[in-house]
Amino acid sequence: MSAAITHEELHGEAHDHAHEAHPKQSFIYKYIFSTDHKVIGIQYGLTSLVFLLAGFFLMMVMRWSIAYPDKPMPLIGAFLGDRWAPGGVVSPELYNMFGAMHGTIMVFLGVVPLAFGAFGNYLVPLQIGAIDMAFPKLNAWSYWLNLIGGVLMMMSFFMPSGAAQSGWTNYSPLASTTQMDVKDVFFSGQTQWLMAMVFLISSSLLGSVNIITTIINLRCKGMTWMRMPFFVWGMLVTAFLLLLAFPPLEVAAVLQLFDRLFGSSFFLPTGLLDSNRHLDIAGGGSPLLYQHLFWFLAHPEVYVLILPAFCIVSDIIPCNIRRPLWGHKTMVYAALVLGFFSFIVWAHHMYLTGMGAVVSTFFQITTVSISVPSVVLLTCLMISLWGGSIRFNTPMLFACAFLPMFGIGGLTGLPLAFSMTDLFLHDTYYVIGHFHYVVAPGTIFALFAGIYHWYPKITGRFMNETLGRLHFWPSLICMNFLFAPMFIQGLAGFHRRWYNGGMAFEDTTRHLLWLNEVMSIAAWCLALSQIPFILNVFLSIKGGKKVTCDNPWHATTLEWATPTPPGHGNFNFEPVVHRGPYEYSVPGASTDYTPQWLAEGEVPEEKLTHAEH
Amino acid sequence: MFALITSLNNLLGVPGLASEHGEMVDHMLGLIQWFMLLLFVGWSTFLAIVFTKFRKSNNPNADYIGVRGHASTHIEIGVVIVEIILLLGFAIPLWSTQSEQYPMGPDVVKLRAVGEKFNWSFQYAGLDGNLGNQELRFVNTSAGNMIGRDLKDPNGKDDFVKSGEMTIPVGRPIIIDVTSKDVIHNLALVPMRIAQDATPGVRAHIWFRPTKTGEWDIICGQLCGVGHSGMKAKLTVVSEKEFDAFLKDNSEEAIKASAAQPAPLASR
């Protein structure tokens, strides 16, 4: 872990490259097939933002169908094609397709790559004072595998069968038996979903191995475990979750692929029928096995979605309240406990399949237990605010909104944790409301906060505050009009995945159908509220207010010690860490921030430097 | 007391209840809703105070130490205690009753619900009170055996199958075997506060005791394909007298029909 040697090595290497490198080739290797963690982080970030937008677009089409079923969709309807939307009317098939792909894209191609791929890649080496990731080439592979997976996923929309239509969970036998009547089963959406997942999972595995090794081996001098920012700790736990939870899903995907392509029946029971015909299979398989493999991944995956959000918020809050994070150590332990427990709660997604008292007792106890570290994390962040001097800039607004919004998401998980109340609410809109509060105004708000916060380090310019507020307030309001009514509908018995929003079940739904319209309008307004953000991201690159020093927020963690923007090799000096990560407003200090890299007795200087390489 | 606890449920529009154990489910749900409300109001109040009191203009200099004292620990312990009460007092016993203490005796009504794209069929145990065996390999569409009844099983001689509507008596324990022919469906009975996945190859059971007569929707709760949004059946709870008559008529007809048919060959 000798940073001195690695720095010298890198400097030497970089000089050699500078002499040898062909100028044209160097552009491609510098910006496209780069092995620099920062470039890869930005690549991950831009790709996943595009996918987030794509996933959001699918949802807007679905919301039309829910609110105005069997009516032609204006503007967009004409472009959906007669096969899927005859006369511009969204068909149930198209709805199911968009539903499955909305979930898949948002989780596997949007939020996780942005949270873990982009933020993890860009910031973890900087925050621990490393020159790059431990395995830069694997890192590049991780990004490119992710992109291949994403492109496969999107290409499946244009296949004769259309994309996958069996929910993001892709349960067998539905997923194994649909789209089997096409000319070539390999080129069907359901099969391509599995192929794409294999690429995405491989990408995640490479990324997680890299993050773990980097954090363990490449911390700079003085960066002891408890001096690591919570951000790095959270990413470490997230990486372990990805590393250990994803392989079972990869197995499930491969086995389901066999069931589809080679006539095996890992997940297909004896005597299975489709449209009253016995399928030509050996049988003996178990649909429940697929669910176990899937949820063994997908529950830890939930924490993969949440922990990076906590990571980001726990950096932004101390910086903007000018006082230390309250309970840094407690939060670290809570994240570790959370990570461990996330592996033993998966069957709470399966109460409906029927289980005995012993199994259900086990999973109810573990599920309720996991709420404890979650509450600890949230409580620490909230208590941190007490005694602060809060400056409400755009990143802080998003970080502050994260707290109560994630709170709603967490609290509404309670009735779902207990098996008997879950039976009543499972697969209803209550569940949809619950996890969207966790992920959308929860995680995605934290991700927005992170983009606004670290943008000046990446580009050397601030994002526009007015546009930021125009992004924040409408988003917050629309999110709540979109997701809060879901709880009401869910309690009334509205089930998910109805293309017509519940028209067929009038006795159950009649009195609350009007909420569908409210939610859909909120969804479209939410889309409009993203325009200021998109403009802001692009216009600020050239037009944003320039930063005047490397540490414009007066923060304390190591990424702010780098030149703006950080160059190849990250630091212009050899970073040494002298203290914990959140030393704000230290009594007796000359400034209200005492950065980690500042030697005893020194005063932080405000200067703008440029990368040497 | 019950009214107070469930008042929040009513306010939020939890639909009418029609089963015996559902009262405990609603009770528990009501308690959780109050607990959630309490925590949310607490957090929001705290945040509202903090966001005004400690904004830069009101508090230019931050305090390095921040909160002193252990209020948060006490709140955390409080949360844990409430959760333990919910677990031990409600969730675990309720689930044991529903999953392991199945009712027995002559008044139990047995049914089998078989899901397929996109409707439900219900096999009734008939006058003998016992359900005939069913397996997917016995499904024979041309012979009219749509759900795969075992025609050799003597228990099944008086069984009959109705499609699209489930008729059950009020006040008697109902046991339903839930399964499927093709993909996973879910038998969701909202007013009974119960739901069960219908998984092909899996024999799952639920039981409940209806407390009200009436008609409700049976919803398919699990994505099952293009027709999922319209996979609907009718749940009809009738008086015991009406049900007995319904059972007797259909069962006698079934016995007649099976006697008229040539007995299935012993071997093929």
Convert the pLDDT of each residue in A417-463 to its tens digit: 999 999 999 999 999 999 999 999 999 999 999 999 999 999 999 99
Length of chain A: 613
| C-alpha dist (Å) from residue A558 to A43, A453, A563 | 22, 14, 11
Which residues 343-372 of A are in CB contact (within 8 Å) with B?
Answer: 352-357, 360-361, 364-365, 368, 371-372
**Residue B72 near residue A379, CB atoms below 8 Å:** yes
Contact B135 A271 (CB under 8 A): yes
Query: B96 and B120 share a domain?
Result: no
Write down the pLDDT at residue A20.
45
CA torsion B148-B151-B157-B160 (nearest 10°) is 20
Residue B267 covered by a domain: no
CB contact A174 to B (< 8 Å): yes
Chain A residues near residue B25 by CB distance under 8 angstroms: 420-421, 423-424
A400/chain B closest Cα distance in angstroms: 9
Residue type, A10: L
Chain A residues near residue B113 by CB distance under 8 angstroms: none
Peptide bond into B200 cis (omega under 30): no
Helices (H) and strands (E) in chain A, counts: 22, 2
Query: B126 and B96 share a domain?
Result: no
C-alpha B255/C-alpha B249 separation (Å) is 10
**Residue A593 near residue A554, CB atoms below 8 Å:** yes
For the record, the structure tokens of B161 come out as 């199958």
- Closest residue of chain B to A322, computed from CA coordinates: B62
Residue B6 covered by a domain: yes
Beta strands in A381-439 (DSSP E): none
**Residue A37 near residue A121, CB atoms below 8 Å:** yes
In the listed set B100, B126, B147, which residue is the last one of a domain according to the structure? B100
Chain B residues near residue A372 by CB distance under 8 angstroms: 76, 79-80
pLDDT-based confidence at A612, cuts 50/70/90? confident
Contact B51 A390 (CB under 8 A): yes
Q: Which domain holds residue B163?
A: 109-260
Query: B173 and B80 share a domain?
Result: no
**Residue A141 near residue A581, CB atoms below 8 Å:** no
* Start-to-end C-alpha separation, chain A: 23
CATH assignment of the domain containing B134? 2.60.40.420
Identify which of A295, A350, A100 has the alpha carbon closest to the alpha carbon of residue B195: A350
Residue B32 covered by a domain: yes
Residue B246 covered by a domain: yes
pLDDT tens-digit readout, A262-279:
999 999 999 999 989 999
Identify which of B206, B154, B179, B175 has the alpha carbon closest to the alpha carbon of residue B109: B175
Residue type, A370: I
Contact A272 B200 (CB under 8 A): yes
Query: B193 and B153 share a domain?
Result: yes
CA torsion A379-A383-A384-A387 (nearest 10°) is 170
Contact A273 B181 (CB under 8 A): yes
C-alpha B32/C-alpha A571 separation (Å) is 52
Residue B223 covered by a domain: yes
- Considering only the beta carbons, identify the residue of B56, B62, B96 that sits closest to A357: B96
**Helix (H) / strand (E) containing A284:** none
C-alpha A188/C-alpha B254 separation (Å) is 45
| Residue found by looking up tokens 């709140």 in the block | B75
Query: B119 and B243 share a domain?
Result: yes
CB contact A76 to B (< 8 Å): no
Query: What stretches of A156-286 show up as alpha helix (H) in DSSP?
Result: 174-177, 189-217, 230-261
Residue B266 covered by a domain: no
B68/chain A closest Cα distance in angstroms: 10
Per-residue pLDDT 10s for chain B (268 aa) are 778 888 999 999 999 999 999 999 999 999 999 999 999 999 999 999 999 999 999 999 999 998 888 888 888 899 999 999 999 999 999 999 898 899 999 999 999 999 999 999 999 999 999 999 999 999 999 988 999 999 999 999 999 999 999 999 999 999 999 999 999 999 999 999 999 999 999 999 999 999 999 999 999 999 999 999 999 999 999 999 999 999 999 999 999 988 887 655 544 4
Write down the pLDDT at residue A11.
47
> Across chain A, which distance is largest between two alpha carbons, in Å?
81
Residue B144 covered by a domain: yes
Query: B151 and B30 share a domain?
Result: no
Query: B124 and B147 share a domain?
Result: yes
DSSP state of A256: H
| C-alpha dist (Å) from residue A432 to A109, A393, B12 | 19, 31, 17
Query: B237 and B116 share a domain?
Result: yes
C-alpha A452/C-alpha A91 separation (Å) is 39
**Structural domain count, chain B:** 2
Query: B34 and B129 share a domain?
Result: no
Query: B36 and B165 share a domain?
Result: no
Residue B209 covered by a domain: yes
- Closest residue of chain B to A427, computed from CA coordinates: B221
Query: B205 and B225 share a domain?
Result: yes
Contact A275 B182 (CB under 8 A): yes
